Structures are given as structure tokens and as C-alpha cells.
Amino acid sequence: MHEEIIVAGFGGQGVIMAGKLLCVAAMNEDKYVSHIPSYGAEMRGGTANCSVVISDKEISSPTVPKPSIAIVMNTPSLVKFEPRVKSGGLLIYNSSLIDQKPKRTDITTVGIKANDISEAEGSVRAANMAVIGKLQALKPEIASLDSVIKALDVVISARNRKHNDTNIKVLKKANL
Amino acid sequence: METKNFKYVYDRPEALVDKVTHYCPGCGHGIVHKLLAEVIDELGVREKAIIIAPVGCSVLIYDYMNFDGCEASHGRAPAVATGLKRVNPDNVVISYQGDGDLLAIGTAEAVHVANRGENITTIFINNAIYGMTGGQMAPTTMEKQITATTPYGRDPMDVGFPIRGCELLNTLEAPVFIERCSIYDFKNTLKTKKAIKKGIKNQIEGRGYSFIEVLSTCPTNWGMKPQEAANWVKDTMVPYYPLGNFRDN
Amino acid sequence: MSEKILMKGNEALGEAAIIAGCRFYFGYPITPQNEVPAYMSRRLPRVGGTFLQAESELAAINMVYGASAAGARVMTSSSSPGISLKQEGLSYIAGAELPCVVVNIMRGGPGLGNIAGSQGDYFQSTRGGGNGDYRQLVLTPATVQEMADLTLLAFDLADEYRIAVLILGDGYLGQISEALTLPKPTGKVFEKPWALTGAKGRKPNKVASLRLVPETSLEELNLVLNEKYKKISAKECRSESYLTEDAEYLLVAYGTSSRICREAVNELREEGIKAGLFRLITAWPFPAEALQIASAKAKKILTVEMSLGQMIEDVKLSVKDPERVDFYGRSGGMLPETDEIKRRIKAYGN
Ligand SMILES: Cc1ncc(C[n+]2csc(CCOP(=O)(O)OP(=O)(O)O)c2C)c(N)n1
Ligand code: SF4
Ligand SMILES: [Mg+2]
């Protein structure tokens, strides 16, 4: 298993954190992981993304110029990252906020109403959990759902851990 | 709709470039930029003016001002201003600086440009934080204020009390004009504009060094909504940093 | 087995400094190393240490000078423009033979440049950016684990040789999170009889670089320093040779660019092309002998940097037949690309 993943969206959608969640879950299953966030001025203008590599083998280059998986939470991220996905790769997009359909036919594209699922559980802030739940269902070899849930306790700051019940509900709801 | 009988009562100043700034919603920098541009227009000195950008969130101010502009390294704007002004005394030279830029890394330059009575105008944006680098303690950060590098709150016994720039410079002989204003509401914003105008007029008349401190907002790094940030200036900053004129020679 | 944690490079470095017994940190904010001061401001007060945000990098390095003269393990960190401001202090630290650790998480330059990772400060680091005849040890980590491990090494080397040790990382290494096994303290203890602690029951100690009278004594100091530098050059060269034994094509790199090179080597090997990687772990002293061995069979040597060519000068000075040395680099915060490295290596074969 070797996946090179981009998670992208608005600042505040929790994309950096979603990437970290995957890393901690996979790391605890003894896989190699790396995570690079976009930072500083790149973040101005309100977009954020992270490059994540998860692998059975030691990771050489942590950069992700051509992701095997792209998770996009808003339209600008779809526009930016859809063309970069490796042929045969996977694109998960947040169809709650993205109206247009992906154009590529040489990759698997999966829409998920991340915001709607999150809101149904009483919070708009867990949309990132929905896409991670979906990814876990499609690519269980990255990490088990159990590991992802356990990783929440590491990745979420003590202050926000009270929301973990909601996070877990959304993860599971989207895990089909 | 027929518009030819309308006349413009409010327009973008010529000195301001028609461009969306990169500032966060509710940030004070944009407001002060606009005031400065209006003043430059009203005094008719656009073609003589030179803005010196600091290192801080306003590092791109020269892209927003429709007149000459110059970058300076962090804290050195007053020195760069001195060089520019000494070569071309007819230019109107404005050094625009943040609190980290002016009162931390650039304290020496800030004090000495004032002490020499350099015929320039300084606009000092005090937002009690390092905006650009993500919210670390500034020399003007309030007591107990939590920042990225004062996670337990600013403790004056450890890192000193917040520095009052106007009062500090007011101990020097040379400056001709020192005033502290704010942009937290409309009335004070007008006063700020008046002070900036006075500061630049002084320079045009060759009177010497003018220093205008503006208590400003950084909603992003304060973790507040724009209105909360404006209130915080009024309720927390103003009591420590009193508004008003310190010198007008 | 010890616990693995996911940690950012900048924070791993901060934690490693604390493990190494560093209790004093002085610095000034600058991206992309802001997590170092933020981390130290949280942790140091909890372990009885002192974090102080200086008013400038110039002040910070002189606080380091003072803390080191007092005998403490002390660190400062910054990124390229801030490191430029520290050069004066580093020259004085070299002259006074004070141990300290200085971290440069490089960003794009010259000038304000940008905040993306870069390797544009190799010359400044290895040639000495301050005045005078001096050297400093330069360590070049390539992973989060090395950010931590080399920090421990840096403190030991600094104390052993009474020298500034520079940890030369870049913005990507500062920002990347990877699995980290926290290193254990090395347990080495260094006596500091020269430290300024008050002349109680001993002759007064002096920490200084000034050598005015007699006129020859400055040269004496320089000769003493030079002996030290020679010893370091002989003993402290570090590098990693990856698949170099039969390598016909050798990549030479350090830090983040070495990771991209490693990927290229793996992919080239899969295609049956004998590529190898020589990675610096110390940039000064430059591991010239190891590079000669690694490049023995190489038809071509491709130096890969996140700059437009600085380390290549050391590579050319070190290898036999320097006309074999070629260059590929990206600058201004851009990264070299695996595909481009492979394309170039394959082109040599034709
Ligand atoms: C020599 C040097 N050190 C540090 C920095 C990083 N830096 C950029 S802006 C800034 C502080 C800005 O704060 P302030 O002056 O208060 O301006 P604001 O962003 O709040 O308007 C710092 C430390 C730099 N660019 N150069
Ligand atoms: S970070 Fe603060 S000072 Fe900078 S643009 Fe945003 S609100 Fe303004
Ligand atoms: Mg500020």
C-alpha cells in the first residue's frame, strides 16, 4: 500500500486536521506516514490543504505533486486538484458545497454530502469527518475505522474533545 | 437609470489603487490605508509621495498606494526613510510601521529618526500583536493577553509592560507632532485622518518629525469578530494607551 | 519498543532540545519556524527553563552569547532573514569559543523573498556569514526523526568543541509531521571551567574575542581555532551513502531535496538503472572522503539543491574528475521534481 493524498478546502473546514487523523491512525498500524500543511501566506485567501503520504515502505519524498487520492471540500479545491490526480486514482468531493461534477473519466470520482451528513448530527464542523469516513470505507487498507476513531483522541485538542461523540457519529454515518 | 445628473460625492481616492486588499475582514490596516490616500489627495502630493512598507501584514502597502513605494527590512523603515529624504528633501516620505516593526526589532531606528527630527511622517499601527507571523507577543501586547508566544498570558514581571510609543518619543526634544488616535469607531477614525493630515502637512512645511500612532485591530489573531475587536480596542487598549495629542509645536 | 508520536519537525526539534537539557531559548518570530518558539514558550516554563522572545534576532543571538558564557545549554532558532541578522553574534561566539545551537529553517531569498522552504543559505552557513576566520558545525537533517536526533547531537558537539552548531533545515522539514520516537538523553556531561559563574575560589574567567596586545596574539587565537577546526574536519564528517556501491549515476543532496532524490533513485533502480544517493549529514565539515568513495564508479554526479547551485562547489572540490559533476536545482521555494531528475539521469545514458 502506498497512497499519496491531498486534502483541500476552505480554512476552517478542518482539512489539515483530517490529514493528521489519517496519519495517526495509519501510524498506529505501523505504517509510514508524512503530512505537510500549506502554511502562512498560502493560507491567505482562505484556502488550505495538506499533502499526506501513507505507505508500507519508508517514505522518500513527502511531496505530493500527483496524488493517488484527492479529497476536496470546496469548488476552488476541485478546480485546483482534479487535474492533478493520477490516472486510476480516486477523487472524493464534498457535494454539499460543490455543484459541478468532476470531468475526469480515468479516475474514480465519489461525491459525498459531507456538510449535510454533519449537520444531520447537529454540527456543521464535522464535515471533514464525513469525507474521512467515506475514504476509510473505500480504502480500508489505509487504516481501520477503529484506528481512525482512536486517533481522534490524539489529534483533537483537549478543548475540543467534547465534540468527539459527534465526530464518531459522522465518521460512521459516512462509512459506506 | 439616468445617472448623468448625479455627481460623485464619494469616490476612491486617486492615491489608492483600485484593488482588493489581502487584509482580513475587520482589519485596521485597510482603513488607515484609505485615510492616508485621502490625505495625500487632499494635500495634492501624490506625485511627491513615497511610502515605505514595513515587514508585517502591511508589507504590500506599496501595491495599494498609487504612488512611489519602497520595501525596507524588518524594523529599518526609518533608516530607509532617512536615506530617501536626505537625497530628495522635496519628497513626502511616509514610514508606515507595525508595533513589532517599530517597537521591537526597530526600536533603535524609531528612536533615532525621531531624535534627529528627520523631516518625515511615521504612521504607527498598534494592534497589540504580530499579525503577519500568526499572533505572537508584540511589545504592545496587553498584560495577561494570550498570544502564540505568551500561552499563559503576558506577564509584565517576565517580559515587561506594554510599551507606550507616543510617551516614549515624547521625552525627545526634536519631534514636532505626536498623537495617538484610533479607528474603532467613525468619530475616532475622522480624528485619525486629521492627525495624519497634520503630520504630512508638517513635513510639507519642513517642520520636522511627526509621529501618529493608531490603535488598530487584528480580529484574526485576537480570535474575535470585527465588532468585538473594535470594542476590545475601546475597552482594553484605550485605558492603557490614552488617546490624544502629546505634542503639536 | 518506544511509543511513536506524530510530530511536526519544528516541534520535534524543540522537544529534543529539552531532552538534551537545553533550558534557555531566545528567539524572534519568523515563518516558517514559528512552531519552535511557540513550543518552547509552552514547554520551557513547565521544566523550570526560560523562554524569552527577544526584540530582534540581533538581541536573541547576543542573549545566547550571554547564556552560553554563563555555562548554560542554550538555543535560538530563526529563518533565513533572521539568521542574516545573527551573523555578527555568530562571529563573536566563534571568537569567544562559546557553545550554542542555532537553528535555521531556511526560506526563499534573497531579501524578504518568501516563506516556502529553500536551501539558499548553504554558502552563508558553511562559509561563515560573519566577519573573520571562523567555522561553525552544520548539521542537515532530512526527516522529523533526524530533526530530533541531530538536535541532541548538536548540543553535545557544541559543548565538546566549544563551537556554534547550526542545524540547517528548511521550511518543508519545519512543517512536515512524521512519526517520531523521542530520543533518549545521551548522558554526556561537559565540564565548563571557563564559564562566568563568579570568581569565587578561582582566578577570574574572561570571555572575549578581542586580542589587541601583543599584536601576535590574535593570530595565536586563530591558530588555536584552526587546530580545533582541523580536528572537527577529521572526526565529525557525517553522511549517508544509499545504493552507491555500484552506482553509475550518483545524486548528491541534503535535507528535503535528498528525499526527492531518494525517490528518484528507487524508481530508477526499478527500471534497472544503477543510481545511488550521497546525502550530507554535515555540510561543514564536508564529508569529502566518503563522497570520493561513493562516487568512485559514477559516470555522472548530479548535484540536486533547492537553490541555483551552492553545495555543488564543495562537491566539485571533493570528487576526482570534477567534470563529471552536473547540476539540477529549483529556487525561490520551488522543489526539484523526481521526474526531472530521472529524465536527466536517463539522458546521460544515451
Ligand atoms: C529579520 C526578520 N525577522 C523576522 C521576520 C518575520 N516577521 C515578519 S512580520 C513580523 C512581525 C510583524 O508584526 P507587526 O510589526 O506588529 O505588524 P502587523 O503584522 O501586526 O501589522 C515578523 C516578526 C522578518 N521578516 N525578518
Ligand atoms: S492578521 Fe491581523 S493585522 Fe494581519 S491582515 Fe489579518 S487582521 Fe489585519
Ligand atoms: Mg502588530
Sequence spans of domains, chain C: 4-189+210-235, 240-349
- pLDDT tens-digit profile of A19-38? 999 999 999 999 999 999 98
Q: Is the CB of B127 under 6 A from ligand 1?
A: yes
Bridge-partner residues for C169, per DSSP? C105
Pick the ligand that lies closest to the CA of residue B223: 2
In the numeric block, the cell 485591530 is attached to B217
Task: Detail the DSSP E strand segments found in B54-184.
Answer: 68-71, 92-98, 121-126, 177-182
CA distance A4 to chain C (A): 13
State which residue of chain A sits closest to B20, comparing Cα positions: A45
Contact list in B for residue A44 (CB cut-off 8 A) is 22
Q: A62 C-alpha to center of ligand 3: Å?
A: 34
Residue C12 in contact with residue C167, Cβ under 8 Å? no
Residue B191 within a domain: yes
User: Residue C216: which pLDDT band, with cuts at 50, 70 and 90?
Assistant: confident
> Any CB–CB contact under 8 A between B22 and chain A?
yes
Q: Is the CB of B127 under 6 A from ligand 2?
A: yes
Tell me which of B22, B29, B129 to substitute to probe ligand 2's pocket, judged by most ligand atoms within 8 Å of the beta carbon: B29
- pLDDT tens-digit profile of B82-92? 999 999 999 99
Kindly tell me the number of DSSP H helices and DSSP E strands found in chain C: 13, 14
Mean pLDDT to the nearest integer, C17-41: 97
Tell me which of C26, C28, C30, C88 to substitute to probe ligand 1's pocket, judged by most ligand atoms within 8 Å of the beta carbon: C30
ipTM score assigned to the predicted complex? 0.92
> Any CB–CB contact under 8 A between A139 and chain C?
no
- Nearest by CB to residue B149, choosing from C37, C56, C112, is C37
Atom of ligand 1 nearest to the CA of B102: 15
Fold that domain A2-113+141-155 belongs to in CATH: Pyruvate-ferredoxin Oxidoreductase; domain 3 (3.40.920)
Residue A148 has pLDDT above 50, yes or no: yes
Mean pLDDT to the nearest integer, C40-44: 98
Contact C6 A34 (CB under 8 A): no
Q: Is the CB of B132 under 6 A from ligand 1?
A: yes
Q: B219 C-alpha to center of ligand 2: Å?
A: 7
Distances (CA, A) of B103 to B161, B164, B199, C1: 13, 9, 20, 50
Cell reading at C317: 572540490
CATH architecture of the domain with residue range C240-349: 3-Layer(aba) Sandwich (3.40)
Residues listed for chain C: 350
- Nearest by CB to residue C56, choosing from B71, B104, B159, is B104
Contact C172 A24 (CB under 8 A): no
Contact list in B for residue C51 (CB cut-off 8 A) is 149
- pLDDT tens-digit profile of B99-154? 999 999 999 999 999 999 999 999 999 999 999 999 999 999 999 999 999 999 99
Task: Detail the DSSP E strand segments found in B49-91.
Answer: 49-53, 68-71
Residue B130 in contact with residue B137, Cβ under 8 Å? yes
Mean pLDDT to the nearest integer, A159-171: 92
Q: A72 C-alpha to center of ligand 1: Å?
A: 32
- pLDDT tens-digit profile of A3-17? 999 999 998 899 999
User: Residue A84: which pLDDT band, with cuts at 50, 70 and 90?
Assistant: very high
> Any CB–CB contact under 8 A between B107 and chain C?
yes
SS3 C122: helix
User: Residue B10: which pLDDT band, with cuts at 50, 70 and 90?
Assistant: confident
SS3 C84: helix
**Cis peptide bond upstream of B54, omega within 30:** no
Positive or negative: CA dihedral A60, A64, A68, A73 = positive
- pLDDT tens-digit profile of B210-234? 999 999 999 999 999 999 999 999 9
Q: Is the CB of B207 under 6 A from ligand 1?
A: no
Residue A46 in contact with residue A157, Cβ under 8 Å? no
Continuous segment of H or E residues that includes residue C15: helix C9-19
User: With 0-12 CB in 10 A as exposed, 13-18 as middle and 19+ as buried, what is B9?
Assistant: exposed
Contact list in C for residue B101 (CB cut-off 8 A) is none
Return the axis-axis angle of helices C35-43 and C9-19, rounded to nearest 10°. Answer: 40
CATH number of C4-189+210-235: 3.40.50.970
Tell me which residues of chain A have a C-beta less than 8 Å from any C-beta of chain B: 40, 44-45
Residue B206 within a domain: yes
Mean pLDDT to the nearest integer, C26-38: 97
CA distance B172 to chain C (A): 22
Tell me which of C28, C34, C56 to substitute to probe ligand 1's pocket, judged by most ligand atoms within 8 Å of the beta carbon: C28
User: Residue A160: which pLDDT band, with cuts at 50, 70 and 90?
Assistant: confident
User: Residue B11: which pLDDT band, with cuts at 50, 70 and 90?
Assistant: confident
**B-contacting chains (≥3 CB pairs under 8 Å):** A, C
What pLDDT does residue A153 have? 94
Residue B180 within a domain: yes
Contact list in B for residue C45 (CB cut-off 8 A) is 152
> Any CB–CB contact under 8 A between A60 and chain C?
yes
- Check residue B103 and report its DSSP letter: I
State which residue of chain B sits closest to C110, comparing Cα positions: B73
- pLDDT tens-digit profile of B33-81? 999 999 999 999 999 999 999 999 999 999 999 999 999 999 999 999 9
State which residue of chain B sits closest to C112, comparing Cα positions: B73
Mean pLDDT to the nearest integer, C272-297: 98
Nearest to A50 by CA among A84, A90, A18: A18
Percent of chain C surpassing pLDDT 90: 94
Residue C20 has pLDDT above 50, yes or no: yes
Mean pLDDT to the nearest integer, B159-186: 98
- Higher pLDDT: B204 or C199? It is B204
Q: C28 C-alpha to center of ligand 1: Å?
A: 9
Contact list in A for residue C259 (CB cut-off 8 A) is 59-62
State which residue of chain A sits closest to B220, comparing Cα positions: A44
CA distance A170 to chain B (A): 27
* Pairing of β C275-280 and β C249-253: parallel
Question: For chain B, how many structural domains are there in total?
Answer: 1
What pLDDT does residue A42 have? 44
Long-range contacts: A162-169, Cβ < 8 Å, 24+? A163/A123, A163/A125, A163/A126, A166/A121, A166/A122, A166/A123, A166/A126, A167/A126, A167/A129, A168/A129, A169/A121
Residue A58 in contact with residue A36, Cβ under 8 Å? no
* Pairing of β B49-53 and β B68-71: parallel
Greatest C-alpha distance within chain A: 43
User: Residue C209: which pLDDT band, with cuts at 50, 70 and 90?
Assistant: confident
Contact C6 A41 (CB under 8 A): no
CATH number (domain holding residue B199): 3.40.50.970
Residue B3 has pLDDT above 80, yes or no: no
Long-range contacts: B13-20, Cβ < 8 Å, 24+? B13/B37, B13/B38, B13/B40, B13/B41, B14/B41, B14/B46, B14/B66, B15/B40, B15/B41, B15/B46, B15/B49, B15/B65, B15/B66, B15/B67, B16/B64, B16/B65, B16/B66, B17/B63, B17/B64, B17/B65, B17/B66, B19/B63, B19/B64
Residue C306 in contact with residue C118, Cβ under 8 Å? yes
> Any CB–CB contact under 8 A between C266 and chain A?
yes
Residue C350 has pLDDT above 80, yes or no: no
- pLDDT tens-digit profile of C54-104? 999 999 999 999 999 999 999 999 999 999 999 999 999 999 999 999 999
Average pLDDT, rounded, for chain C: 96
Residue B17 within a domain: no
Atom of ligand 2 nearest to the CA of B22: 5
Contacts of C335 (CB under 8 A, 6+ apart): A63, C117, C172, C256, C257, C260, C306
Structural domain boundaries in chain A: 2-113+141-155
Tell me which of B74, B109, B129, B183 to substitute to probe ligand 1's pocket, judged by most ligand atoms within 8 Å of the beta carbon: B74
What is the domain extent for residue B43?
28-248
CA A52, chain centre distance (Å): 9
